[in-house]
A and B are shown apart, each in its own frame.
Chain A
């Protein structure tokens, strides 16, 4: 228990990933859905960094770096779209966004 190994970090990452999944499935508000997505990305980052540390390989950190970059741009575009939708429809409730039916 005292000796923190790779498995500890992986298990932590998985727990955070599961929490993110719960958030995705539960949230009805689009913005809060984005929050849950952020949680997913962060948990993956932890896993990458941990593997990189325990194998002495920098590839993991590089990947985590790019994940952060992509997450940032995704937030920008996503929020832009959310603003457009809000201007048109007045709310960001998922249950009203069912035009992709069938």
Chain B
């Protein structure tokens, strides 16, 4: 019973938060609501017994991703309202409702079959984190390593894209060259 109460409570909250995210005209409210929504989703993970996933959700999503978005918010005049497209509301809402209904249908329909077996069944007795670790580092090792490489690439890309004066490499220049560059810069700034 508690599960039902918790589910409905968090469901309502999540939907409300995400609704605010997509419809508000203030950028700050959208950011805040998104962060709140992420937290409530992690609640779902805990309800479903996926402890590790819930913790990762809070740390990575709410912590890191939302922080990056907050930095991105620097590029806005947050006192101004965000303009929206003058599109046809009915088309928008209608299309998305239709999509939602269809997806539900697709998913509900095959669920009526009963002979589905689990590939990687949960082991009784072990906690969720231990199970995740066991499966992740044995069966899903390759995707894990690939994800790591991808994160590295993303990081480098982020730095390159956002960095300033990337043509000079401080580590490869001699001290004399660094001093000369500094003088150049001072001249430009002071004159």
Contacts and interface: CB of A to CB of B under 8 A. Distances in A.
Contacts of A64: 50, 53
B181 interface: no
Contacts of B4: 1-4
Nearest to A2: B4
A77 interface: yes
A71 to B, nearest CB: 7
Contacts, number: 222
Interface size class of B (residues with CB under 8 A): 35 or more
Contact of A28 (B72, B75, B85): B85
Given A32-B27, A75-B68, A19 B48 contact: no
Interface of B: 1, 3-4, 7, 11, 14-15, 18-19, 21-23, 27, 30-31, 34, 37-38, 41, 44-45, 48-50, 52-53, 56-57, 60-61, 64-65, 68-69, 71-73, 75-76, 82-85, 87, 92-93, 95-97, 99-101, 103-104, 107-108, 111, 116, 118-122, 131-132, 135-136, 140, 143, 147, 150-151, 153-155, 157-158, 160-162
Interface of A: 1-4, 6-12, 14-23, 25-29, 31-32, 34-36, 38-39, 42, 45-47, 49-50, 52-53, 55-59, 61-62, 64-66, 68-77, 79-84, 86, 92-95
